[in-house]
């Protein structure tokens, strides 16, 4: 019995670790430039940015590749954040953040953000090819 | 936690948890930066939620859309950028510790792996920046 249990691959563990690592890499590679350009340089008027005008913003949001990119950019890092914030709470003295219900809440929130992102991206701008 | 340790019977195996104060991470600089690294998730999550909101606002039509320009927003983004850069530096540097592979039977030096990660970060930033600015008007 114990031998069977030992051989059973920790599939769930593997999936969440994979999502943690991928989300972390994506966040590291992609987020800083978005914050710099869309959050600082654009609003200060230093450069022209695609989201400063309605027509350029809505037009690029209609592109299916952009939609897919934004979905990955927004949703995947949340699986990384879920893990980090859970362990931040553990380190601050809340071991309950390791429990199964806490995992459901944190990874559930990442899934909710993913579904929300899919909904927003599909309903905001009509899909335009080219 | 102390009570748990004191009432432990010899027959039962229990994990000893050393009691720690909630502020243990403020006692050493290394601990502090470790906690900052975990904390980066919060500002980054908030900024991405803002981006999603920015996308959603475009669905309200031309008259309902206005780009963010307020000083508090720029300050918020600047603070988030500092945390984002800290996440990028620490996470991409880790690749040198985690990734181990050989080319022509020789292990690739971890320095080279880290350098390639930072190179990838630079290329991705230039490409995305070019798209964001190039399609602007």
Distance CA A97, CA A90 (A): 6
Select the more confidently predicted residue: A11 or A71.
A71
Of B58, B74, B125, the CB nearest to A32: B125
A62 vs B3, more confident: A62
The Cα of A20 is separated from the nearest Cα of chain B by a number of Å equal to: 11
Highest mean pLDDT among A4-13, A67-76, B65-74: A67-76
Residue B20: per-residue pLDDT: 76
Domain holding B21, by residue range, is 2-134
Residue among A57, A49, A52, A34 nearest A124 (CA):
A57
Q: Which residues of B touch A36 (CB under 8 A)?
A: 81, 129
Measured between CB atoms, does A78 come within 8 Å of chain B? yes
Q: Kindly report the pTM of this predicted structure.
A: 0.86
Looking at per-residue confidence, does B28 or B44 come out higher?
Answer: B44
Chosen from B76, B113, B136 to mutate, greatest number of chain A CBs within 10 A: B136
User: pLDDT averaged over chain B?
Assistant: 86
Q: What's residue B11's pLDDT?
A: 59
Which is more confident, A67 or A20? A67
Q: DSSP per residue over B23-51, as a string?
A: TGGGSSHHHHHHHHHHHTHHHHHHHHHHH
Chain B interface includes A128 (CB < 8 A): no
Tell me how close the Cα of A89 comes to any Cα of chain B, in angstroms. Answer: 10
Q: From the candidates B32, B60, B132, which should be mutated to test the interface with A, based on the most A CB atoms within 10 A? A: B132
| Per-residue confidence band for B63, with pLDDT thresholds at 50, 70 and 90 | confident
A81 contacts chain B (CB < 8 A):
yes
Long-range interactions of B14-18: CB distance < 8 A, separation 24+:
none
- Using left for φ > 0, alpha for ψ between -120 and 50, and beta otherwise, residue A45 falls in left
Cβ of residue A9 closer than 8 Å to a chain B Cβ: no
Helix (H, G, I), strand (E, B) or coil at B107: strand
Bigger pLDDT: A71 or A15?
A71
**For position B1, what pLDDT does the model report?**
45
Instruction: Tell me how long chain A is.
Output: 130
Enumerate residues 6+ apart whose C-beta is below 8 A from A127. Answer: A62, A64, A67
pLDDT for the residue numbered A1: 45
Is residue B6 pLDDT above 80, yes or no? no
Give the residue on B whose Cα is nearest the Cα of A33. Answer: B125
Closest CA to A107 of A121, A96, A97: A97
Q: What is the pLDDT of residue A130?
A: 53
- CB burial of residue A84 (10 Å; 0-12, 13-18, 19+): buried
> CA of B111 to nearest chain A CA: how many angstroms apart?
18
Higher pLDDT, A109 or B26: A109
Is the pLDDT score of B48 beyond 90? yes
Of the candidates B55, B85, B120, which has its C-beta nearest A70's C-beta? Answer: B55
Q: A11-44 pLDDT, tens per residue?
A: 878 888 888 889 999 999 999 999 999 999 999 9
More confident residue, A75 or B6: A75
CA–CA distance, B36 with B19 (Å, rounded to integer): 22
Query: Looking at per-residue confidence, does B73 or B11 come out higher?
Result: B73
Contact B51 A74 (CB under 8 A): yes
Residues 52-71 of A with CB under 8 A from B: 52-58, 60-61, 70
- Tally of structural domains, chain B: 1
pLDDT of residue A108: 95
Higher-scoring residue by pLDDT: B119, B27: B119
Per-residue model confidence as pLDDT tens digits over A85-113: 999 999 888 888 888 999 999 999 999 99
Res B106: pLDDT:
79
The interface predicted TM-score (ipTM) is 0.90
CATH number for the region A8-124 comes to 1.20.1300.10
Closest chain A CA to residue B60: A124
The predicted pLDDT at position B4 comes to 47
Give the three-class secondary structure for A129. coil
CATH number, domain containing residue B80: 1.20.1300.10
A13, two tokens:
């563990």
Give the pair of three-digit tokens for residue B123. 């290329």
If you ran DSSP here, which 8-state letter would residue B101 be given?
-
Compare B97 and A16 and report the one with higher pLDDT.
Answer: A16
């Amino acid at each position: 019995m114990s031998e069977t249990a030992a051989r059973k691959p920790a599939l769930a563990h593997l999936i969440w670790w994979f999502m943690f690592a991928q989300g972390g890499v994506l966040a590291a590679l992609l987020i800083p430039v978005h914050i710099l350009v869309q959050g600082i340089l654009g609003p200060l008027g230093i450069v022209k940015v695609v989201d400063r005008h309605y027509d350029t913003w809505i037009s690029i949001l209609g592109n299916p590749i952009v939609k897919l990119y934004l979905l990955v950019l927004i949703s995947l890092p949340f699986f990384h954040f879920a893990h980090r914030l859970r362990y931040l709470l553990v380190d601050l003295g809340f071991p309950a953040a390791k429990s199964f219900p806490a995992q459901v809440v944190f990874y559930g929130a990442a899934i909710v953000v993913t579904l929300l992102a899919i909904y927003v991206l599909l309903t905001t701008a009509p899909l335009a090819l080219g | 936690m102390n009570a748990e340790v004191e009432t432990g019977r010899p027959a039962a195996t229990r994990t000893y948890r050393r009691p720690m104060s909630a502020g243990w991470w403020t006692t050493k600089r290394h601990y502090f930066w470790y906690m900052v690294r975990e904390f980066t998730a919060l500002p980054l999550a908030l900024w991405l939620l803002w981006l999603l909101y920015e996308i959603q606002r475009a669905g309200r039509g031309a008259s309902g859309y206005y780009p963010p320009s307020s000083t508090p927003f720029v300050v918020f983004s600047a603070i988030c950028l500092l945390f984002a850069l800290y996440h990028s530096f620490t996470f991409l540097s880790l690749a040198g510790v985690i990734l181990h592979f050989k080319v022509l039977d020789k292990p690739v030096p971890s320095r080279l792996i880290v350098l390639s990660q930072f190179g990838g970060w630079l290329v991705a930033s230039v490409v995305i920046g070019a798209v964001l600015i190039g399609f602007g008007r």
